[in-house]
């Protein structure tokens, strides 16, 4: 573990050179890792672990679409694919990657198989941080650890197949065996991270829920919709409005920002764009800062967690969710986006 300085703040960071894959394999050579859930993070993490040479099995509800997807991905029923309870019995490390609602409902089954010395692994701090709402309270004699990739499970897998890694946070909630640190870092390296930074379960879920509702999805969709609407109301065509709002950002600028930073982008654009961006960014910051403060407070108090739990537990949840997603899909901005994406030129070969 190394101390790294970010803007005057020291953080604990682990990188691949100091904890290589060979060391991770050695740490986990006698472990059986059961990945529970095959939805968002499950496929990427389990496949990366398997390809990296770890002993991995998958636990999933038989007869579900996710079970069928696991079979399609090469997991073999009765050999590497089991129902959740059998996977828990076989595992020494249980990766609890079900949805937050799924974790609540399956917890009684998982808990009875958490015998002394096992490890319970999360990729989200929700279940532990809000355990007064979820009921997820692990036994005192097991390790409770977290590795949270800073990207979707799809990105985790794609980058792995490209020979690249993805940043992840790690946390230790409970170290019953004295091996929690080596276990969590080995698992982080195993799932495809080359840069792991320390956090806590609480900080992970607070930042994650804020990010999802903020710049990662909620706020960016709101900003897209607002700019698109203003352009359309002023006579711009759907194609022009979409390209200026979404396409140029996602296809051209974001990759450059990821490589070089926003400061580099400001220094390497036209003088007209540069002047406008410098004049307007603080106005957007000041306009949205109160919203972000409200959002963080709602996360911190547990209000967002309660809304999620209440919503997901309703019998018509899936029906209402699909209706909301359909509304988004059918909106003009994203119908235009579908057409624009189809018209992207293929790279010359």
Report the alpha-carbon distance of residue 214 to residue 219 in Å, rounded. Answer: 5
Strand partners, 169: 148, 197
Local structure of 149: helix, strand or coil: strand
Query: Residue 160 belongs to what H/E stretch?
Result: helix 153-161
> Could you give the CA distance from residue 247 to residue 340 in angstroms, rounded to a whole number?
8
Rounded to the nearest 5°, which phi and psi values hold at 171? -150, 150
CB-CB contact of 57 with 31 (8 Å)? no
93-96, strands of its sheet edge to edge:
2-6, 9-15, 195-198, 168-174, 143-149, 119-122, 93-96, 33-36, 56-59, 81-82
Cα dihedral 88→94→97→101 (10° resolution): 60
119-to-94, 152, 182 alpha-carbon distances in Å:
6, 23, 12
Query: In residues, how long is the chain?
Result: 349
The torsion defined by the Cα of 183, 185, 187 and 191, in degrees rounded to 10, comes to 180
Cβ atoms of residues 37 and 60 within 8 Å = yes
Q: Which two tokens stand for residue 110?
A: 């998982």
| Angstrom distance (rounded) from CA 184 to CA 95 | 11
Hey, how many other C-beta atoms are within 10 angstroms of the C-beta on 260? Answer: 12
Q: Which residues are catalytic?
A: 124
Furthest-apart CA pair in the chain: how many Å?
67
């Amino acid at each position: 573990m190394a101390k790294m300085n970010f803007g005057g703040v020291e953080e604990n960071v682990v990188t691949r050179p100091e904890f290589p894959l060979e060391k991770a394999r050695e740490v986990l050579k006698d472990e059986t890792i059961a990945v529970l859930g095959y939805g968002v993070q499950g496929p990427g993490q389990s496949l990366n672990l398997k390809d990296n040479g770890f002993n991995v099995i998958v636990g999933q509800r038989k007869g579900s679409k996710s079970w069928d997807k696991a079979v399609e991905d090469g997991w073999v029923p009765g050999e590497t694919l089991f129902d959740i309870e059998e996977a828990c019995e076989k595992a020494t490390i249980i990766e609890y990657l079900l949805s937050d609602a799924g974790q609540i409902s399956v917890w009684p089954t998982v808990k009875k198989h958490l015998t002394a010395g096992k490890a319970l692994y999360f990729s989200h701090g929700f279940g532990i941080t809000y355990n007064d709402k979820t009921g997820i309270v692990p036994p005192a004699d097991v390790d409770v650890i977290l590795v949270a990739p800073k990207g979707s499970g799809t990105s985790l897998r794609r980058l792995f197949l490209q020979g690249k890694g993805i940043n992840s946070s790690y946390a230790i909630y409970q170290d019953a065996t004295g091996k929690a640190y080596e276990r969590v870092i080995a698992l982080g390296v195993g799932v495809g991270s080359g840069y792991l930074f320390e956090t806590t379960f609480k900080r992970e879920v607070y930042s994650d829920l804020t990010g999802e509702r903020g710049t990662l999805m909620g706020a960016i969709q709101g900003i897209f919709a607002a700019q698109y609407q203003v352009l359309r109301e002023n006579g711009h065509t759907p194609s022009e409005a979409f390209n200026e709002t979404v396409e140029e950002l996602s296809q051209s600028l974001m990759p450059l920002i990821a490589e070089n930073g926003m400061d580099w982008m400001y220094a390497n654009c036209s003088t007209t764009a540069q002047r406008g961006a410098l004049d307007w960014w603080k106005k957007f910051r000041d306009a949205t800062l109160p919203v972000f403060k409200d959002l963080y407070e709602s996360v911190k108090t547990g209000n967002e967690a309660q809304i999620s739990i209440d919503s997901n537990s309703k019998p018509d949840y899936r029906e209402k969710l699909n209706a909301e997603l359909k509304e988004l899909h059918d909106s003009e901005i994203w119908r235009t986006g579908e057409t624009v994406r189809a018209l992207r030129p293929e790279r010359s070969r």
